[in-house]
């Protein structure tokens, strides 16, 4: 099997991370995977080595303009574009092309929730790219259109999903996610300057205003019949990569630390990219940098009457690009884990 891949928005953080993973993919190393068009807008016409010097295998290539004409003809197109752009491109790509959108355009099922949080017309819903969610792996196999989840929803969903599904907590969740600055993208912005972020922590888009809030609720609602409420608080930290998420929810009577942990170990027993860390330890972002892993922990705080769920991911890998490549593998019938590292970078 041979196939070609294009990356729209190649010079952004998500696009660059997709390319880093593809360059180590077994299909690329065997010559079956061809990296085709690399596109951008403001960087069109510029040499790839100037924009992405960390990818020397692509030296000599030139960034092309993002257009249907350039992207058509590839077997797979990754859309690493801001939300609002993917909908138009996705609607005009050939039906046989596997289009994998890393933006938000096709994540939400609820048109009203989309309008509330994004303020534009709802483009629809594509198969949703968290294979670890019940039934989603099957939907992604052979899919031609795929919506990659948001990085915050990935961490929060994988942290809380087994607890909500097993009914060890009430689905009334308080989610706090501490994130590195790369989650904001590569665009120049004063709040992301080193002088603004170093040595400082800042909560933002609080009190239900962050656009990932309805996505987290949507995901967890799939595994329970009870109404799901989510209070989500993101916190910006002076890190290049990583998201540490804590979720607390009311404890269901009779649940013990042992039964909660067993629920997690059972749920994730066959998942290659989720690890329930040993008892007495906590996930750390430094342990997942560069990997497609999500490290999770669950604990019962009996005195406070809550379940504490924690996860750590690399927002650019498992949170975006790794998820996109994982979905590509499923869509094309390749080994799901192909090209995706489980080991992190240390120190």
The first and second tokens of residue 299, run together, are 């604990």
Do 212 and 160 lie in a common domain?
yes
Angle of helix 151-166 versus helix 257-267 axis, rounded to 10: 120
The whole-angstrom separation of Cα 192 and Cα 182 is 9
Per DSSP, what are the bridge partners of residue 172?
229
pLDDT digits (tens, 9 = 90+) for 271-309: 999 999 999 999 999 999 999 999 999 999 999 999 999
CATH of the domain at 160: 3.30.360.10
Residue 84 is assigned to a structural domain of this protein: yes
Percent share of the chain, pLDDT over 70: 98
* Range scoring the smallest mean pLDDT among 39-48, 67-76, 282-291, 318-327: 39-48
Structural domains counted in the chain: 2
State the average pLDDT over residues 310-325.
97
Clarify whether residues 168 and 219 are in a common domain.
Answer: yes
141 with 217, same domain: the answer is no
Q: Is residue 76 domain-shared with residue 206, that is, in the same domain?
A: no
Where do we find the tokens 């604990």? Answer: 299
* Peptide bond preceding 84 in cis form (omega within 30 of 0): no
Q: Which residues make Cβ contacts (< 8 Å) with residue 305, sequence separation at least 6?
A: 250, 251
Could you tell me the residue range of the domain that residue 214 belongs to? 152-313
Residues 6+ apart with CB under 8 A from 181: 192, 197, 236, 237, 238, 239, 240
Residue 56 DSSP class: G
**Residue closest to 132 by CA, chosen among 108, 105, 153:** 153
Report whether pLDDT(90) > 90. Answer: no
Identified catalytic residue from 151, 169, 294, 327: 151
283 in Cβ contact with 244 (< 8 Å)? yes
Query: At 95, which CATH number?
Result: 3.40.50.720
Q: How far is CA 285 from CA 166, 231, 295, in A?
A: 26, 22, 9
Does the residue 338 lie in any domain? no
Average pLDDT estimate for 89-94: 89
Cβ neighbours, 10 Å, residue 316: 26
- Across the chain, mean pLDDT equals 93
327 and 306 in one domain? Answer: no
pLDDT confidence band for 184 (50 / 70 / 90): low
pLDDT > 90: percent of the chain:
83
Kind and range of the H or E run holding 8: strand 3-8
pLDDT in tens, 126-147: 999 999 999 999 999 999 999 9
Judge whether 102 counts as a catalytic residue: no
**326 and 288, same structural domain?**
no
Q: Does the residue 223 lie in any domain? A: yes
> Which distant-in-sequence residues (6+ apart) come within 8 Å of 201 by Cβ?
178, 235, 236, 237, 238
Question: Do 112 and 191 reside in the same domain of the chain?
Answer: no
> In 3D, which of 110, 105, 115, 111 has the Cα closest to residue 84?
105
Tell me, yes or no, whether 298 lies in a domain. Answer: yes
Q: What is the pLDDT of residue 125?
A: 94
37 is a domain residue: yes
Per-residue confidence (pLDDT) for residue 34, from 0 to 100:
96
φ, ψ at 13 (rounded to 5°):
-60, -45
Model confidence over 38-52: pLDDT tens digits?
A: 998 888 889 999 899
Residue 125 lies in a domain: yes
Give pLDDT, residue 45. Answer: 86
Q: Which two tokens stand for residue 181?
A: 């600055």
Please check whether residue 8 lies inside any domain of the structure.
yes
pLDDT of residue 188: 66
Same domain, 174 and 133: no
Least confident piece of the model among 40-44, 194-198, 265-269: 194-198
Does the residue 345 lie in any domain? no
pLDDT of residue 137: 98
Average pLDDT of 194-206?
Answer: 84
Could you tell me if 58 and 124 lie in one domain? Answer: yes
- Work out the average pLDDT over 109-116: 92
122 and 156 fall within a common domain: no
**b/e string for 96-120 if b means 16 or more Cβ within 10 A?**
ebbbbbbbbbbbbeeeebbeebbee
Same-domain check for residues 141 and 158: no
- Strand-strand pairing, 64-65 and 33-40: parallel
Domain co-membership, 81 together with 39: yes
User: How buried is 310 (Cβ within 10 angstroms: 0-12 exposed, 13-18 middle, 19+ buried)?
Assistant: buried
Distance CA 42, CA 63 (A): 10
């Amino acid at each position: 099997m041979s196939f070609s891949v294009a990356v729209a928005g190649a010079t952004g953080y998500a696009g660059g991370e997709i390319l880093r993973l593809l360059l180590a993919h077994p299909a690329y190393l065997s010559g079956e995977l061809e990296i085709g068009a690399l596109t951008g807008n403001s960087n069109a016409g510029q040499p790839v080595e100037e924009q992405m010097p960390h990818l020397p295998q692509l030296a000599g290539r030139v960034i092309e303009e993002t257009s249907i004409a350039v992207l058509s003809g590839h077997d797979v197109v990754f859309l690493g574009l801001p939300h609002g752009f993917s909908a138009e491109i996705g609607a005009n790509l050939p039906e046989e092309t596997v289009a994998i959108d890393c933006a938000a355009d096709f994540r939400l099922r609820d048109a009203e929730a989309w309008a509330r949080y994004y303020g534009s017309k709802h483009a629809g819903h594509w198969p949703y790219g968290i294979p670890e969610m019940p039934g989603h792996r099957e939907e992604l196999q052979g899919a031609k259109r795929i919506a990659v989840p948001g990085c915050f929803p990935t961490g929060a969903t994988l942290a809380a999903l087994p607890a909500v599904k097993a009914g060890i907590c009430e689905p009334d969740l308080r989610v706090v996610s501490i994130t590195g600055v790369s989650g904001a993208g590569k665009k120049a912005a004063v709040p992301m300057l080193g002088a603004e972020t170093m040595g400082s922590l800042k909560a933002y888009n609080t009190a239900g205003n962050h656009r990932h809030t309805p996505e987290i609720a949507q995901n967890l609602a799939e595994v329970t019949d009870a109404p799901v409420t989510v209070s989500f608080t993101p916190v910006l930290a002076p890190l290049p990569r990583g998201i540490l998420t804590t979720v607390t929810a009311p404890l269901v009577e009779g649940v013990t630390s042992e039964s909660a942990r067993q629920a997690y170990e059972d749920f994730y027993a066959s998942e290659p990219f989720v690890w329930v860390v040993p008892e007495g330890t906590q996930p750390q972002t430094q342990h997942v940098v560069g990997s497609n892993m999500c490290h999770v922990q669950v604990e019962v705080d009996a005195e406070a009457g809550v379940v504490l769920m924690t996860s750590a991911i690399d927002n650019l890998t498992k949170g975006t690009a790794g998820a996109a490549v994982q979905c590509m593998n499923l869509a094309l019938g390749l080994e799901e884990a192909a090209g995706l590292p489980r080991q992190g970078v240390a120190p």
